[in-house]
Each structure stands twice: as structure tokens, then as C-alpha cells.
Amino acid sequence: MNVRPISGTSVDARGRRGRKGLLTLVSGMLVLAVTACGGGASDEGPGKSGGKGSDTARNKQSQAVVAITPKDGAKSVETSGALEVGVSKGKLTQVVVKDTKGTEIPGELSGDGTSWTPSRHLAASTKYTVHVVAKDSEGIEAAEDSSFTTLTPQNTFVGHFTPEDGSTVGVGMPFSLRFTRGITEPKAVEKAIEIKTEPAVEVAGHWFGNDRLDFRPEHYWKAGTKVTVKLDLDGVEGRPGVYGKQSRTVSFTIGRNQVSVVDAEKHTMKVMREGKVIKTIPITAGAPSTATWNGQMVVSEKLKVTRMNGATVGFTDSDGKGEYDIKDVPHAMRLTTSGTFLHGNYWSGGAFGSYNASHGCIGLRDVRGGYDGGTPAAWFFNRSMIGDVVVVKNSRDRTVAPDNGFNGWNMPWDEWKA
């Protein structure tokens, strides 16, 4: 049997085709490897360099280190002296402290730019957020955020004030605060009270004891002046462990200028508007043994009818009863805390304009019940307001004390400010 051999040509051809396909596959794998590892293309897209140093500048950390006290999340933080912001190896460029209402707390940056402190106290029972940005010497920024909550005080105080919000008062009316607790940190309390006037005038405060603070200008207010008082006492530590809880604004207006001058020797009172006498009224002042105070006194209360009993102001007889007890004194206006009034008088007969017969008050002729609007007392009462000034001169008594009523005008300005 003849057997035909397999063609050698056919075997060689198949071998060549196999080697060619293998070379093509290996070449493709090499190209893929080079593309993946060579770094010839940037992730940022065509035309953007991925050269050396581009990521280094972007990711370099600031050397500035921000520190916020109190720590983040702190509770029962003191309202004064606890908040501080600082930076090392850099300078502060932004410090924003806000309460939950979005109100910013003003602050002061140190001269070298490395520390910040609030310029006012914080409110009690309030959450605050702090945002701080600083830059190092290369201008690279560092930022820090924090929050904390201030203490809830166990003991508080308020200031009862006069005049009332929205009122119109005479030119002698100070803004007076009487605190419910004695204050041992007067500077902190006074710093938390801001007074603005229109037109502008310097206003200064003076403490009488540790529970009363009065504000006034050097001279009587100018008629028409608008006064706005901001009481920012919430969180002020007025004495150890006792904090203010007031945060409100009070406004009042100064009315026309009325100053009346009582001459105890001449037994007259000149009523002046804007410096001009509009009426002269006969009066009776304190008798020699119970003379009326001299000095500038401010009307602090008006009563159409009131009762006056000598026992309430130290005038008693041998039985301890009041030397007088008049149940229906008409047209009464208080001038001092100690009990000096300018009032209508229906019981002194011919004393008006002739002699002094009272226990220290200033009397103007009136009728019982005060029903007659034509009497001198009624005329004056109807043309007077809280804050008007009554000046007494030529009396035998000394000058009234500045804290006896709203009578700080009897204290020199330099002493008042001191």
C-alpha cells in the first residue's frame, strides 16, 4: 500500500501564522502596560500638566495652629473672661462668634494678630458658635469651628428704671436705675449700659451706694432731646454668683424747658419757660424751725389728691402721733424722697406771699378737694410734668442731698463723674 506523506509546506505555514498571532498579542500587552504605568497623561484632562509639585502646593498643611477656649461642646461657661481665641505660628484673619439668633459678639484683636477676646460679656443660658480662620507665614489658611453654652445663673438681679419707656419728661429728669441686689462690680454693670442722645451730649453715670445708678448730662437736658438707653445686663456678674437678666431698650423724650424758682424770703415762685418768666405765684415755705431745703429739686411724682401724715416723716407729738394728718392734700408734687412736696394748701389762710408756715413743703393756695382749676396750685399742677425742676433759694436750711430724690444736679459735674 502506498502511503502519501503529509506535506511539509502545509505544516510550516501553520507554524508561521501561529507565531505572528502570538507576537501581535504580546505587543498589545506591552503597549497597554506602558500606557498604564508611564504617567504620560494627567487625570485633570488634556493640556493640564501633572508635573512635579502641583499636588504638593495644593495639599500642604498650614503651620498656623488655632486654639479656642472653652473647648468644643463645653457647658456652664462663665459669661465673662472665659472666651479666648489664639493662634501660634500665624495670625488670625477672621473670628466670628454668634448666638443662636445670629447676633455677633464684637471683639478685639491683639496688635500682633495672635489673639482675640470679646469686648463685652456673654448672655447667660445661651449657646454660641465660634468660627476662626488664621494664616501662616506662607499665606496658607487654617480654620477651626467650635460651640459652647454659657451658665444658667441661680441668683439674678434687675434694675428698676425711671422714667418709663416712651414717656416725655422735664429737663431735670435723670435716667435712674435701682437694683434689686447690691452691686459689688459697678464697672461691669455700668459698661453694660449704653446711652445715646439726639442731639448728642455727654452723659455720665454716678452711683449712690451700691444699688442706685443715675445718669445725667452736665447741665439740664435740652428741650426736645431724644434719649435711648440700651440695658445689656443679661449675663453681667454684678456681685459674686449674681447675674443680671435684663436685655432691653428704653427711650424717652425731653419736653419743654420749665424751671421754677422759689424765693423763701420773698415768698414767691417764678415759673419760667425756656428761661422766661411766665407767672409769679405767692407761696408759703417751711417755717423757721422746719425750713425747706435749698437747691435744685426734680418733680418725681404727681398726685391729684394724697394724704400727708407727719408721723411718716418724723414730725410727731408727745403721744407719738403725727403733728398733722391731712387726708386730702390737693395737687401734690413730690420733690424729695424724704417727703418734701410742692402742693396745694387750703388751710394756711393768709400765709401765701406773706410768711413761711409749713413743715418744709412749698404751699400754693388751693381749695379743699382741688376742684377749682383756677387756683394757683391747680394752674401750676396742670402745667407741670415729671422731671420739671424747682429751685429753692434763700431758705434757712442747707442744700438738699443729691440722692434725696432725683436731685443730683446739686453735685458738681467733676464730682459726679468721679
Q: What is the mean pLDDT of the chain?
A: 88
Name the catalytic one among 121, 331, 343, 359: 343
For this structure, is 37 an active site residue? no
Q: Is the pLDDT of residue 58 over 60?
A: no
DSSP 212-241: EEEEE-SSPPPTT-EEEEEEE-TT-EEETT
CATH level 3 topology of 63-150: Immunoglobulin-like (2.60.40)
According to the model, what pLDDT value does residue 319 have? 73
Span of 222-231, 237-246, 324-333 with lowest mean pLDDT? 324-333
Q: What is the pTM of this model?
A: 0.82
According to the model, what pLDDT value does residue 59 have? 66
Span of 4-13, 52-61, 207-216, 241-250 with lowest mean pLDDT? 4-13
Q: Which part of the chain has CATH 2.60.40.3780?
A: 63-150
pLDDT one-digit tens code per residue, 251-300: 999 999 999 999 999 999 999 999 999 999 999 999 999 999 999 999 99
Name the catalytic one among 206, 267, 331, 361: 361
pLDDT, average across residues 90-98: 98
According to the model, what pLDDT value does residue 321 have? 73
pLDDT, average across residues 301-314: 86
CA dihedral over 369, 374, 375, 379, signed as positive or negative: positive
pLDDT one-digit tens code per residue, 126-180: 999 999 999 999 999 999 999 999 999 999 999 999 999 999 999 999 999 999 9
> Which of 1.20.1250.20, 2.60.40.3710, 2.70.98.10, 2.60.40.3880 would CATH assign to domain 155-254?
2.60.40.3710
For this structure, is 343 an active site residue? yes
Q: Are 284 and 365 in contact (CB under 8 A)?
A: no
- Cα–Cα separations (whole angstroms), residue 211 to 185, 220, 356, 390: 11, 24, 36, 26
Domain 258-417 is found in CATH 2.40.440.10: yes
